[in-house]
């Protein structure tokens, strides 16, 4: 770290670096200064120092699978390559309850710890349908953690069922939902959100749903869609709103920056940002989000090589083994067209980057530390 600082002549960057070393929070204007002026090497050194203080060389992943009940959606976000509007519903898919339960049954003998359920906002798949589905999933697999429904889906299903967010979340929790994924946050700036994410839940509603969930004892994640039409100031504004809520509730597990991919959507004319910008963004996220335990790189989206690099830029988590049923990213032009890795492959990926692979559950309890229990032939 000191050798990096010796090469920095900008007094403001040096002041920010000293603050970070003394664990003093970076302000919004300092965050913006980093985006506008700091080079990758400087940001990486700073972010890596924070990562190592918090997690040493550990890199977390989990064994999960995704269920995407439908890609039919009442909304029409411009960046989305995945949804099929209701009026084009013949191009889309709708899974029956039995099909979804069959997916869960197919994992009967596999040591997965989490199911991630997320999809389009389908007007016929409502709160009570999903509550009963979760109950049936838990009957098949009582040990599994159900991480389900973005705030966008929750906003729609609560409104449609004419219940408050609190009531809706309480019903889902009583039926077995354990936590919320971080999707649907996109970018909080109101004008930009209206431009790219149409009339889906507002930033204030997204934050209110997560705050309510935290109050009810349901933790969640938070995402930020970056690298499209937003400016650096919008990223800082987004992270600032999340950091403020985290101060209040402490209910967020992980921050997940999501790189905008431009294949087959209404924003295909917008160029994608470079890998350098991805790494800078991870590093600034680690520096800025000082009250978030973890920064996750979603490997199917950025690809395995960038995911490995990100581990030296503040990232300590690369999601999970996932499953090839995940379509939201492959349809948007992600690096990985069939995003599935065996546990052995994920462990290898992390170890090749010089880190210690640690399997975690959704709440970051350690399931297996691979430096103490190395990979064996029976690990799948």
Which part of the chain contacts ligand SF4 (CB under 6 A), choosing from 71-79, 90-98, 294-302, 371-379? 71-79
Q: Is 206 in the site for ligand SF4 (CB under 6 A)?
A: no
Q: Which is nearer to ligand V47, 27 or 266 (CB)?
A: 266
Question: Nearest distance from residue 265's CB to ligand V47, in Å?
Answer: 5
Q: Is 151 in the site for ligand SF4 (CB under 6 A)?
A: no
Q: Is 75 in the site for ligand SF4 (CB under 6 A)?
A: yes
Residue 149's binding partner out of ligand V47, ligand SF4, none, with CB under 5 to 8 Å set by partner kind: none
Q: What gap in Å lies between CA 134 and CA 138, rounded to an integer?
A: 6
Question: Nearest distance from residue 149's CB to ligand SF4, in Å?
Answer: 11
- Yes or no: say if 30 and 18 are a contact pair by the CB < 8 Å rule: no
Q: Kindly report the three-state secondary structure assignment for every residue of 45-103.
A: HHHHHHHHHHHCCEEEEECEEEECCECEECCCCCCCCCCEEHHHHHHCCECCHHHHHHH
> Which residues have a Cβ under 8 Å from the Cβ of 366 and sit 6 or more positions away?
358, 359, 360
- The region, left, alpha or beta by phi > 0 then psi within -120 to 50, assigned to residue 204 is alpha
Q: Is 73 in the site for ligand SF4 (CB under 6 A)?
A: yes
Q: Which is nearer to ligand V47, 42 or 188 (CB)?
A: 188
Residue 121's binding partner out of ligand SF4, ligand V47, none, with CB under 5 to 8 Å set by partner kind: ligand SF4
Written as six digits, the tokens of 89 are 């519903």
Q: Is 80 in the site for ligand SF4 (CB under 6 A)?
A: yes
The two beta strands, 64-67 and 220-226, are: unpaired
Q: What gap in Å lies between CA 68 and CA 221, rounded to an integer?
A: 18
What is the CA angle 311-314-319, rounded to 5?
55
Q: Is 77 in the site for ligand SF4 (CB under 6 A)?
A: yes
Residue 120's binding partner out of ligand SF4, ligand V47, none, with CB under 5 to 8 Å set by partner kind: ligand SF4
> Residue 297 to residues 126, 304, 317: CA-CA distances in angstroms?
31, 10, 6
DSSP symbols for 288-300: H-TT-SEEB--HH
Q: Which is nearer to ligand V47, 34 or 187 (CB)?
A: 187
**Residue numbers 82-111 binding ligand SF4 by CB under 6 A:** 82-83
Q: Which is nearer to ligand SF4, 152 or 284 (CB)?
A: 152
Residue 330: HSE in the Cβ half-sphere, 13 Å Cα cutoff? 11
Contact residues toward ligand V47 (CB under 6 A) are 79-81, 150, 181-184, 186, 221, 223, 225, 256, 258, 260-261, 265, 298, 319, 328, 332
Q: Is 120 in the site for ligand SF4 (CB under 6 A)?
A: yes
DSSP symbols for 311-330: TTTT--EEEE-B-TT--TTG
Q: Is 322 in the site for ligand SF4 (CB under 6 A)?
A: no
Which residues here bind ligand SF4, judged by CB under 6 A?
73, 75-77, 80, 82-83, 120-121, 152, 200
């Amino acid at each position: 770290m000191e050798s990096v600082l010796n090469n920095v002549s900008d007094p403001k960057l040096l002041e920010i670096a000293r603050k970070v070393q003394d664990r003093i929070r970076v302000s919004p204007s300092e965050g913006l200064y980093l985006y506008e002026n700091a080079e990758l090497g400087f940001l990486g050194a700073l972010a890596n120092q924070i990562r190592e203080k918090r997690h040493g060389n550990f890199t977390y992943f989990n064994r999960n699978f995704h269920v995407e009940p439908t890609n039919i959606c009442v909304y029409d976000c411009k960046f989305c390559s995945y949804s099929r509007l209701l009026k084009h519903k013949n191009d889309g898919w709708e899974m029956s309850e039995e099909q979804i339960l069959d997916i869960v049954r197919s994992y009967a003998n596999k040591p997965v710890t989490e199911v991630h359920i997320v999809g389009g906002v389908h007007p016929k798949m409502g709160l009570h349908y999903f509550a009963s589905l979760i109950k049936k999933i838990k009957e098949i697999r009582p040990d599994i953690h159900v991480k389900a429904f973005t705030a966008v889906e929750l906003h729609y299903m609560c409104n449609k069922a004419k219940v408050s967010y609190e009531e809706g979340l309480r019903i889902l929790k009583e039926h077995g939902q354990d936590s919320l994924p971080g999707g649907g946050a996109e970018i909080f700036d109101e004008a930009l959100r209206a431009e790219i994410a149409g009339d889906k839940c507002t930033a204030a509603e997204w934050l209110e749903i997560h705050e309510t969930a935290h109050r009810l004892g349901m933790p969640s994640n938070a995402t930020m869609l970056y690298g499209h039409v937003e400016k650096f100031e919008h990223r800082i504004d987004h992270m600032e709103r999340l950091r403020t809520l985290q101060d209040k509730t402490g209910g967020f597990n992980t921050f997940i920056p999501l790189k905008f991919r431009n294949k087959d959507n209404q924003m295909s004319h917008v160029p994608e940002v470079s890998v350098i910008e991805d790494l800078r963004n991870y590093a600034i996220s680690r520096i800025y989000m000082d009250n978030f335990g973890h920064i996750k790189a979603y490997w199917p989206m950025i690809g395995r090589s960038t995911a490995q690099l990100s581990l030296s830029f503040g990232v300590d988590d690369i999601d999970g083994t996932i499953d090839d049923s995940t379509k939201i990213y492959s349809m948007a032009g992600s690096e990985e067209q069939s995003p599935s890795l065996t546990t052995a492959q994920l462990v290898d990926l992390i170890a090749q980057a010089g880190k210690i692979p640690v399997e975690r559950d959704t709440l970051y309890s350690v399931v297996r530390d691979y430096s103490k229990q190395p990979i064996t032939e029976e690990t799948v």
